[in-house]
A and B are shown apart, each in its own frame.
Chain A
Amino acid sequence: MAGLAAAFGSGAMTNSIEDLEDADVILVTGSNTTENHPVLSSFIKRAFLRKTTKLLLVDPRKIKLAEFAHQWIQPNLGTDVAWINGLMHVIIKENLHDKDFVEKRTEGFEELKAVVEKFNPEYVEKITGIKASEIISAAKLFAQAKAGCIIYCMGITQHTTGTDNVKSLANLSMLCGNLGIRGGGVNPLRGQNNVQGACDMGGLPNVFTAYQPVTNKDARLKLEELWGVKDLSDKPGLTATQMVPLAHDKIVKALYIIGENPLVSDPDLNHAKKSFDNLDFLVVQDIFMTETAQAADVVFPSACFAEKDGTFSNTERRVQRIRKAVNPPGDAKTDWEILSGVAQKMGYNMDYKCAEDIMDEIRITTPSYKGITYQRIEKTGLHWPCPDENHPGTPILHTSQFPRGKGLFHAIDFIPPAEQTDDKYPLYLTTGRIIYHYHTGTMTRKVDGLNEQAPENFVEISSKDANQLDLKNNSMVKVASRRGTIEVRLKISEKAKQGTIFIPFHFAESAVNLLTNAALDPVSKIPEFKVCAVNLSAAA
């Protein structure tokens, strides 16, 4: 979310889910919403039914939402900055931008204008494969909306230029004056249930809770006093995508992993596996014996969401309760009880009585959560920031000001994806999810009905590509990249765009991340899951 933070000073969904009903135009890009956020996609589809909202879909694949789109444009993989700049070029040229908003609430407009100057529709067509006329009509559609909302997901962020992509979307939204209003905004959809909460709670190497930088002395002093410790480190730590290679180089010696399965979800898995082998010590807390847990020295059994009290923060910053419904199996404990147990043994006194106890401490250390008590969210969750107990929460951010003051335009040029196709690897591979499974499948693949609907991994390909390679529908094929090979079943689908294949990442036994590229976005350190070069052949 580094891109949004740079533009606005805060990196979360700016508007609420319900706001979608008030949008005049919704631009959806890099999100297969009907499969990944099904219930949210219904808000978009209902808006379409009421004919009050138009959908502008930008996606290389013919996803379900295409049926509901007023206009659907299909850019080549990894060319997002180019089409967004193209849209802005047209908007500025046709004088459709919100001059008042740009003048009063933003800075950096002249630099932006200079950069998008060369992105005329013909130039953009060459890079993106989108017809010049389509770029012009899309630009007009979006700019002429009173409230234009942008929705994006991993299809935008999982690129080496992910941060640039996000900044570009922020540029587009500011240019049209769409921030701080109902039905507008820039809205990243969080893939996992509590990504928002993990970030808010300081599960990031450079910040404490509520995004207070570790380099901020006051923030450190306050925590040191509350926690009764000295010398909190002022050095930003390592990201997950840096820890793994450093483990490979034996600089990181131990990893403590809570409820994650990087040995399926990491890019370039072969390399990641070697890195884990090189660790001196690995601790994993999980509800199942995952691929990662198998590599551990110690495994702690933890309680799942139905077995504990607490809160999750959803993609729209709404803090909602979870409640204990059943007992955990055997000796399993909640993750906070396990961590407290280790802390105690290491000589640090951590003795919370219950989850609400922890929430009380969160409210002291986290300004944006200060007004959120269990009592207040008993029935309905509240949107942070919620600075005091009488505050109603904040469904729409940036209504009068950005946290950084003025919104900052970033002048961004187009950079092609890190890996290009060539004679040996002539197809682009992109990865993602399907509706019946979730993430690395540790939960959904234990549910019979979901497995029955989606039993095995597959590669989705256009009929043209399949014919050219002489591959039969439903046959087993080998997919190879510069890093690895997997075998999967071939599915000819009209969803696929010619030249690009798709493989979901839920299936550990033929993990697509054996193929993907670990090249990182320089700012967000997100790997380029969404583009790599591969070839296909019949399996032996």
Chain B
Amino acid sequence: MNNPNKISINGNFFSFVQGETILSVAKKNCIEIPTLCYLKNTTPSGSCNICVVEIEGSADLVTACTTLAENNMEIHTESVKVIESRKSTLTALLSSGNHNCSICGTSSSGWTDFQLKVHKEDKTSQLCPVWGDCRLQDLAYRYQVTGNPDIKGFDKVYPLEDVNPFIVRDFSRCIMCGRCVKACREIQVNNAINFSDNKSIKKIITPEDNNLKNSDCVFCGECIQACPVGALVEKDVRYSTRPWETKKVKTTCSYCGVGCQIYLHVKDNQVVKVTGVEGNPPNYGSLCVKGRFGFNFIQSQDRLTTPLIKENGTFKEASWEEAFELVANKLKEIQKNHGSDSIGVLTSARVSNEENYVAHKFCRAVLKTNNIDHCARL
């Protein structure tokens, strides 16, 4: 125990480097300490109190995300005291806003006045839009707590904001953890949203408390991905897609050259949502508005679905066989009459490496010319 830079967590010893937090040492060694407001690669605020741990010899619990490891610390991550604390924190969070999902059945006797009030304004009897995909719900289940109707929640209902095309802000479900603020200010550095200087305002706001559309927001959606509850949700997804209905396919964004890694969420052969792949370069979960929200062209009604051949100035639908035949014959004829170098191929900076390779082979080996280029100069 006298080795420098050693701590014990739940009875096991681990080394650490100066300046490392308890949370980071635990994470590295695969010991799970539940977190809520903590957001990777941003300044920890220790505000939600979920990650509290007990240090032997000290009366108060400390938050693991802000407390630095010190030599010979003996830490307990799931002691009775810790669990009690987490339970009461969760109860308070569940009762503060519109979080009634952990209450069994539809009986409203367990509901807070605030929840009953928003429920009326919401005009929907649907489950919370992120039901089954909510960090608070997971924790409530894990520690078996529900809200307490006797705890007074938010006293004010801030109207839901959905005037922009991408993001719905449902303040009734906000737990003021500040993850979205960190995502916007420290990850994307767009500085669109923040806490209010006025502590009595229980709402994350833009500088003038305008809606996002009239702010510096660029709709990157980093805040949605960071939100642990249902306060920030993609507009198109809200109430229309449930997480268990989709399968996720990992791929690369097809817009700019950054090549962000994305998940396409697919339901019934349709892409319904896009999220960034966390922990993976080059983007580590971040996306821009095009990557996150620009996918509807895939299922556009205007997509071409069949080969077309122009006859007397108008297109008529054709079979692949017919179209292949025509193109092959025409190209052969031009090759014969005017030479191979009278044909040119423009391949694309938009299609895959494999397709570019085949285009290059087609041009050189079949058309027998080096007249191939793409439009990257443009």
Tell me if chain B binds chain A. yes
Q: Which residues of A contact B (CB under 8 A)?
A: 16-18, 34, 36-40, 42, 45-46, 48-49, 68, 189-206, 208-209, 214, 223, 227, 229, 231-233, 235-241, 243, 247, 251-262, 265-267, 280-281, 283, 286-289, 293, 296-302, 304-308, 310-316, 318-327, 329-336, 339-346, 348, 350, 352, 355, 358-359, 361-362, 365, 379-381, 435-438, 442-444, 446-450, 452-453, 524-527, 529
Asked if B349 and A198 make an inter-chain contact with CB atoms under 8 angstroms apart, the answer reads: yes
Interface residue count on the B side (C-beta < 8 Å): 110
Whether A205 contacts B297 in the complex (CB less than 8 A), given A197-B356, A227-B361, A316-B282, comes out as: no
Instruction: Name which residue of chain A comes closest to B264, CB basis.
Output: A325
CB-contacts of B356-378 with A (<8 A): 356-378
What are 6 A-B contacts with C-beta separation under 8 Å? Answer: A193-B255, A194-B257, A198-B376, A208-B364, A365-B357, A449-B293
Q: Collect the chain B residues with CB atoms within 8 Å of residue A202's CB.
A: 356-357, 360, 364, 372
Asked if B360 and A209 make an inter-chain contact with CB atoms under 8 angstroms apart, the answer reads: yes
Asked if A192 and B257 make an inter-chain contact with CB atoms under 8 angstroms apart, the answer reads: yes
Asked if B307 and A301 make an inter-chain contact with CB atoms under 8 angstroms apart, the answer reads: yes
Q: How many A-B residue pairs have CB under 8 A?
A: 465
Q: Is B210 at the interface (CB under 8 A from chain A)?
A: no
Q: Collect the chain B residues with CB atoms within 8 Å of residue A443's CB.
A: 254-255, 294, 297
Asked if B289 and A42 make an inter-chain contact with CB atoms under 8 angstroms apart, the answer reads: no
Asked if A233 and B340 make an inter-chain contact with CB atoms under 8 angstroms apart, the answer reads: yes
Q: Collect the chain A residues with CB atoms within 8 Å of residue B286's CB.
A: 39, 42
Q: Collect the chain A residues with CB atoms within 8 Å of residue B305's CB.
A: 301, 329-332
Contact of A240 among B298, B346, B361 (CB under 8 A): B346
Asked if B355 and A49 make an inter-chain contact with CB atoms under 8 angstroms apart, the answer reads: no
Q: Collect the chain A residues with CB atoms within 8 Å of residue B189's CB.
A: 42, 45-46, 48-49, 68
Q: Is B188 at the interface (CB under 8 A from chain A)?
A: yes
Asked if A306 and B345 make an inter-chain contact with CB atoms under 8 angstroms apart, the answer reads: no
Asked if B365 and A256 make an inter-chain contact with CB atoms under 8 angstroms apart, the answer reads: no
Asked if B353 and A362 make an inter-chain contact with CB atoms under 8 angstroms apart, the answer reads: yes
Q: Collect the chain B residues with CB atoms within 8 Å of residue A191's CB.
A: 256-257, 349, 376
CA distance A452 to B372 in the complex (A): 37
B240-277 interface mask toward A, CB cutoff 8 Å, 1 = contact, 0 = none?
00000000011111111111110010100111000000
Asked if A203 and B165 make an inter-chain contact with CB atoms under 8 angstroms apart, the answer reads: no
Asked if B327 and A345 make an inter-chain contact with CB atoms under 8 angstroms apart, the answer reads: yes
Q: Collect the chain B residues with CB atoms within 8 Å of residue A283's CB.
A: 327
Q: Collect the chain B residues with CB atoms within 8 Å of residue A319's CB.
A: 353
The 4 closest A-B pairs by CB, nearest first: A330-B305, A314-B259, A237-B370, A310-B352
Q: Is B114 at the interface (CB under 8 A from chain A)?
A: no
Q: Collect the chain B residues with CB atoms within 8 Å of residue A287's CB.
A: 297, 303-304
Asked if B289 and A435 make an inter-chain contact with CB atoms under 8 angstroms apart, the answer reads: yes
Q: Collect the chain B residues with CB atoms within 8 Å of residue A260's CB.
A: 346-350, 374-375
Q: A37-B256, A336-B358 are in contact. List 6 more A-B contacts (CB 8 A).
A: A68-B189, A196-B257, A202-B356, A233-B341, A301-B308, A302-B304
CA distance A438 to B269 in the complex (A): 25
Question: Closest CB of chain B to A19's CB: distance in Å?
Answer: 11
Asked if B374 and A46 make an inter-chain contact with CB atoms under 8 angstroms apart, the answer reads: no
Asked if B255 and A195 make an inter-chain contact with CB atoms under 8 angstroms apart, the answer reads: no
Instruction: Name which residue of chain A comes closest to B219, CB basis.
Output: A453
Asked if B266 and A325 make an inter-chain contact with CB atoms under 8 angstroms apart, the answer reads: yes
Q: Collect the chain B residues with CB atoms within 8 Å of residue A200's CB.
A: 353
Whether A447 contacts B297 in the complex (CB less than 8 A), given A252-B342, A310-B352, A318-B282, comes out as: yes
CA distance A39 to B349 in the complex (A): 20
Asked if B324 and A345 make an inter-chain contact with CB atoms under 8 angstroms apart, the answer reads: yes
Q: Which residues of B contact A (CB under 8 A)?
A: 164-166, 186-189, 218-220, 235-236, 249-261, 264, 266, 269-271, 280-283, 286-291, 293-300, 302-310, 315, 320, 323-332, 334, 338, 340-378
Q: Collect the chain B residues with CB atoms within 8 Å of residue A298's CB.
A: 307-310, 323, 326-327
Asked if B293 and A256 make an inter-chain contact with CB atoms under 8 angstroms apart, the answer reads: no
Asked if A359 and B255 make an inter-chain contact with CB atoms under 8 angstroms apart, the answer reads: no
Tell me what chain B mostly uses at the interface: helix, strand, loop, or mixed.
Answer: mixed
Question: Closest CB of chain B to A333's CB: distance in Å?
Answer: 7
Q: Collect the chain B residues with CB atoms within 8 Å of residue A362's CB.
A: 353-354, 357
Question: Closest CB of chain A to B34's CB: distance in Å?
Answer: 26
Asked if A193 and B355 make an inter-chain contact with CB atoms under 8 angstroms apart, the answer reads: no
Q: Collect the chain A residues with CB atoms within 8 Å of residue B307's CB.
A: 298-301, 331
Asked if B258 and A40 make an inter-chain contact with CB atoms under 8 angstroms apart, the answer reads: yes
Question: Closest CB of chain B to A532's CB: distance in Å?
Answer: 15
Question: Closest CB of chain A to B259's CB: distance in Å?
Answer: 3
Whether A448 contacts B296 in the complex (CB less than 8 A), given A36-B256, A299-B315, A304-B254, comes out as: yes
Question: Closest CB of chain A to B276's CB: distance in Å?
Answer: 9
CA distance A226 to B218 in the complex (A): 50
Question: Closest CB of chain B to A454's CB: distance in Å?
Answer: 10
Contact of B294 among A257, A326, A450 (CB under 8 A): A450
Asked if B254 and A325 make an inter-chain contact with CB atoms under 8 angstroms apart, the answer reads: no
Whether A297 contacts B253 in the complex (CB less than 8 A), given A198-B349, A266-B378, comes out as: no
Q: Collect the chain B residues with CB atoms within 8 Å of residue A257's CB.
A: 345-346
Asked if A343 and B362 make an inter-chain contact with CB atoms under 8 angstroms apart, the answer reads: yes
Contact of A252 among B260, B297, B343 (CB under 8 A): B343
Q: Collect the chain A residues with CB atoms within 8 Å of residue B340's CB.
A: 233
CA distance A346 to B361 in the complex (A): 13
Q: Collect the chain A residues with CB atoms within 8 Å of residue B378's CB.
A: 240, 262, 265-267, 526-527, 529
CA distance A293 to B24 in the complex (A): 55
Asked if B327 and A342 make an inter-chain contact with CB atoms under 8 angstroms apart, the answer reads: yes
Whether A314 contacts B257 in the complex (CB less than 8 A), given A39-B288, A202-B356, comes out as: yes
Q: Collect the chain B residues with CB atoms within 8 Å of residue A335's CB.
A: 348, 351-352, 355, 358-359
Asked if B346 and A300 make an inter-chain contact with CB atoms under 8 angstroms apart, the answer reads: no
Asked if B357 and A358 make an inter-chain contact with CB atoms under 8 angstroms apart, the answer reads: yes
Instruction: Name which residue of chain B comes closest to A529, CB basis.
Output: B378
B236, B257, B310, B345: residue with the most chain A Cβ atoms closer than 10 Å: B257
Asked if A447 and B296 make an inter-chain contact with CB atoms under 8 angstroms apart, the answer reads: yes
Contact of B324 among A190, A311, A341 (CB under 8 A): A341
Question: Closest CB of chain A to B291's CB: distance in Å?
Answer: 8
Q: Collect the chain B residues with CB atoms within 8 Å of residue A229's CB.
A: 365
Q: Collect the chain A residues with CB atoms within 8 Å of residue B373's CB.
A: 203-205, 237-240, 243
Contact of B280 among A262, A330, A380 (CB under 8 A): A380
